[in-house]
Amino acid sequence: MRIAIAGGTGFVGSALVKKLLEKKHELFILTRNTADKRPSKNLNYVQWLNDDNSPEDALEGIDVFINLAGESINSGRWTDERKKRILNSRITATMEVLRIISRLEEKPYTLINASAVGYYGTSRNETFTEATRKSGTDFLAETVRRWEEEASKAEEFEVRTVFCRFGIILEKNDGALPRMALPYKLFAGGPVGTGDQWVSWIHLDDVVNGILFCIEHEQLQGPVNFTSPNPLTMKQFGKTLGEVLNRPHWMPAPGFALKIALGEMSTLVLEGQKVLPAKLQAFGYDFLYPDLRSALRNIYQ
């Protein structure tokens, strides 16, 4: 297939590009700067989000458009200015994806758009699946709702649209796991907050394979939860992480200290939601790492 990817050099994008190239697909990576990029067999770079270029000229005939673009929510305190950037980066990129699609004579048959389980808001008691229609009311929920709302406009061009609602993606050197593992490596790991909050996690390999699964299964559309079928409480998560790293799980990190240190961003670790991948399971996706112990052993082997 011919596949365009926005955000192809990021955390998920880099792993996805590697897998797609292994499968011999022809890729077009959208980037703001092509000067320092080296194209190779089946790997092309296309400049975008620049008033002086027309990326659609290079993308005629693509089969799938994957949009992973957006500023990381993990890279700094959520000031008002930063929250604007988090939201605007996602809306701006998605609007440009839609503009490109509108200009293509032959439309892609699928748009895979990144999203997040933050859509559901936080809860200690509820279990969320794709059948949950109501979104939360906090900053992340509002961001995801508006992001999906924008991306859904692709359906006006008869493009099948999938929203990949990512949980906490686990990988050794990027994302949330290195921060979560550091206290344990320093023999200072333990419960975060009450420890009763839910962690809906997924191994990076299952994210990549899940995206391919969504591309190949044309009946899948709308929101798709990218989480393991076995979410855990933070207390269970930390205990398993400590055991895999052969470190104690004993020193608690009090919630009030994290709120002082992280501000509103502390909701990422102090609150959570129990999210199940009902659609992926219904369509027969076979998780490589359905339980946390096997996922962490693979990561730290």
CA distance 92 to 241: 37
Closest C-alpha among 73, 75, 70, 46 to residue 58? 46
Q: What is the pLDDT of residue 261?
A: 66
pLDDT tens-place values along the chain, 301 residues long: 999 999 998 999 999 999 999 999 999 999 988 888 888 899 999 999 887 779 999 999 999 999 999 998 877 788 899 999 999 999 999 999 999 999 999 999 999 999 999 999 999 999 999 999 999 999 999 999 999 999 999 999 999 999 999 999 999 999 889 988 898 998 888 888 889 999 999 999 999 999 999 999 999 999 999 999 999 999 999 999 999 999 998 888 777 766 766 677 778 778 899 999 999 999 999 999 999 999 999 999 8
All domains of the chain in start order, with CATH: 2-300 (3.40.50.720)
| End-to-end CA separation in angstroms for the chain | 34
Q: Strand 201-203 to strand 232-233: parallel, antiparallel, or no bridges (unpaired)?
A: unpaired
- Whole-number pLDDT of residue 262: 66
DSSP 237-289: HHHHHHHHTT------B-HHHHHHHHGGGGHHHH---EE--HHHHHTT---S-
Scan for tokens 């999938």, then name that residue.
162
